[in-house]
Amino acid sequence: MRRYVVLGLLDGIITAVSLTSGLLVRGHALRISEALSIAVVVATINSLTSFIAEYSHQRDLLRDLEYKVYLKSTGHIFKTLVHRRALFNSARSSLYNFLSSAAGALSVLVPASVKSEYGLYALAAVAFLVSVVLSKNLVEFGEWLLMVCVSALIGLAVGLLFPLAV
């Protein structure tokens, strides 16, 4: 679960920044309805891809389990409670990813809807907070802060190099 919360949060932040970097840097206002729309799109895409990735991983584990039990792959395991549980777990991970991705995107986009530079300030604050929450000591804090900031800067640069809206 933690993996999909972290993935969703960071993916939401970076994708939202990439999509809106041209607006944020140029000082163009972002309407709250646009912020919500972008957050929903980002969260939906992230959750669907996380569902497919997790379900693919679960299916591989089920195939391996079936082979270990029967010494052959029959496909019967995909008609069992174990398979339904794998589907449920994949859907649950996807939901966590959706919620955290939406939160990540909104953490930057809502302040940007008040004033564009607030989105950049929020990005710095969120990078700091995420690093604090994920780290267990000062060294880990520095690693997380570096990784989140570099990722956000790359997202910002990509968004500026390939703007969607000018």
85 within a domain of the structure (yes/no): no
Distances (CA, A) of 48 to 4, 28, 86, 123: 12, 30, 16, 25
pLDDT at 165: 56
83 within a domain of the structure (yes/no): no
117 within a domain of the structure (yes/no): yes
105 within a domain of the structure (yes/no): yes
What is the C-alpha separation between 154 and 137, in angstroms, rounded?
A: 26
Total number of domains in the chain: 1
Q: Widest CA span of the chain, in angstroms?
A: 63
16 within a domain of the structure (yes/no): yes
5 within a domain of the structure (yes/no): yes
What is the C-alpha separation between 162 and 43, in angstroms, rounded?
A: 21
Digits of tens for pLDDT over the chain (166 positions)?
778 888 899 999 999 999 888 888 888 878 999 999 999 999 999 999 999 999 999 888 888 887 777 776 676 667 777 778 888 989 999 999 999 999 999 999 999 999 988 988 999 999 999 999 999 999 999 999 999 999 999 999 998 998 875 5
* Residues spanned by the domain of 103: 1-57+93-161
Q: Is the backbone of residue 36 left (phi > 0), alpha (psi -120 to 50) or beta? A: alpha
79 within a domain of the structure (yes/no): no
The one-character DSSP state at 79 is G
Q: How many residues does the chain have?
A: 166
144 within a domain of the structure (yes/no): yes
